[in-house]
């Protein structure tokens, strides 16, 4: 993907970042969000959905801490695609700064609770606070369950579920003390139905929904809202990978797109990160001040297949 298409896919082009590299904050995309001056910590923010959310929040004047592992494998048996690099994290941080807000890049592993606690403290010290937490970091490791290696199961659980818990644990003392905050987790259509070839991934995304709803009940008394987004296919490096389409028995991206067109009610094979980002911005905003414990399906109508 060239730089112009990349910027478009995460919504930065429309956010006021010119392809030549000049930038303006641009106009607010929604009225009444009351987000300007707040601070967000976003995990898995070097690219894809995480970077899309960072860009959309920055358009509203939110200062952003972009956290990512910054390592192509993260020491895990990742096959079929690679994780974001440290350079991609640095480049993403610079892109967000061009939107006129403060931004820092933090290289950390969500599997490490101590590192996440340090990341929260760095966010507060360098950006002035913490109001919004987006637990987005996730990996996939494709295999039929029968042939799945123990390491594949453990790696995905550790990142996609324990990583979300660590993110919340690290942020919770600050959010509780100020009696205010918004936590957004990223689930998936794979957390709403069975998905052959990724039993580990689907298990974590179902579990993220259970964690989200439980936290909403436990943390509401502190005026902390906790919501989840369950996206369908999104144009990210993870989804646009050989590992993804072969896991479902496809032989090409074209076959994958045809299958998703048949699954979606709306005429698109996949969404762009900005489509998920705009929903996250809404959930973080005052327009959603009485919304907590919800799972927002951003699924092009594919969610109409769910039984409940």
List the one residue out of 44, 186, 171 whose CA is nearest residue 106. 44
**Annotation says 239 is catalytic:** no
What are the mean pLDDT values of the chain's consecutive 10-residue runs (308 residues total)?
A: 52 40 37 85 98 98 98 86 95 98 98 98 98 97 94 97 98 98 97 94 98 98 98 90 80 88 91 96 97 96 88
What local confidence, expressed as pLDDT, does residue 15 receive? 40
What local confidence, expressed as pLDDT, does residue 247 receive? 78
What local confidence, expressed as pLDDT, does residue 308 receive? 67
Collapsed DSSP state (helix, strand, coil) of residue 219: helix
Q: Are 225 and 292 in contact (CB under 8 A)?
A: yes
What's this model's pTM, rounded to 2 decimal places? 0.89
What local confidence, expressed as pLDDT, does residue 33 receive? 78
Instruction: Tell me the C-alpha distance between 69 and 212, whole Å.
Output: 23
Give the start-end residues of each E strand in 108-245.
Answer: 132-135, 181-186, 224-231
Residue 191 is given by DSSP the state G
Instruction: Tell me the C-alpha distance between 167 and 193, whole Å.
Output: 25
Catalytic residue among 201, 222, 245, 306: 201
Q: Which two tokens stand for residue 181?
A: 């905050």
What local confidence, expressed as pLDDT, does residue 12 receive? 55
What local confidence, expressed as pLDDT, does residue 77 receive? 77
What local confidence, expressed as pLDDT, does residue 92 receive? 98
Instruction: Tell me the C-alpha distance between 49 and 62, whole Å.
Output: 17
Give the Cα-Cα-Cα angle 43, 244, 307 (nearest 5 degrees). 85
Structural domains in the chain, CATH included, are 3-16+31-299 (3.40.50.720)
Q: Which two tokens stand for residue 151?
A: 């390491």
């Amino acid at each position: 993907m060239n730089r112009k298409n990349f910027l478009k896919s995460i919504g930065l082009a429309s956010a006021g970042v010119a392809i030549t590299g000049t930038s303006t904050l641009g106009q607010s995309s929604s009225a009444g969000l009351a987000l300007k001056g707040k601070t967000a910590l976003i995990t898995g923010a070097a690219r894809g959905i995480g970077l899309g959310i960072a860009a959309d929040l920055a358009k509203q004047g939110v200062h952003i801490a972009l956290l990512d592992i910054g390592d192509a494998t993260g020491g895990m048996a990742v096959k079929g695609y690679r994780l974001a690099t440290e350079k991609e994290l640095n480049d993403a941080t610079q892109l967000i700064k061009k939107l006129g807000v403060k931004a820092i890049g933090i290289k950390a592993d969500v599997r490490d609770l101590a590192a996440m606690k340090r990341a929260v403290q760095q966010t507060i010290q360098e950006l002035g606070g913490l109001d919004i937490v987006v637990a987005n970091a996730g990996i996939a490791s494709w295999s039929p369950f029968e042939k799945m290696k123990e390491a594949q199961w453990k790696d995905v659980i550790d990142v996609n579920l324990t990583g979300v818990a660590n993110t919340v644990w690290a942020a919770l003392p600050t959010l509780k003390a100020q009696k205010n905050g918004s936590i957004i987790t990223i689930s998936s259509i794979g957390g709403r139905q069975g998905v052959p070839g990724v039993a580990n991934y689907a298990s974590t995304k179902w579990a993220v929904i259970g964690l989200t709803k439980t936290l909403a009940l436990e943390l509401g008394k502190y005026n902390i809202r906790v919501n989840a987004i369950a996206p369908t296919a999104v144009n990210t490096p993870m989804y646009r990978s050989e590992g993804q389409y072969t896991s479902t028995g496809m032989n090409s991206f074209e076959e994958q797109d045809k299958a998703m067109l048949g699954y979606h009610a709306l005429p698109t094979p996949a969404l762009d990160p900005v489509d998920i980002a705009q929903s996250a911005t809404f959930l973080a905003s005052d327009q959603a001040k009485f919304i907590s414990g919800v799972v927002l399906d951003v699924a092009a109508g594919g969610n109409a297949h769910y039984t409940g």
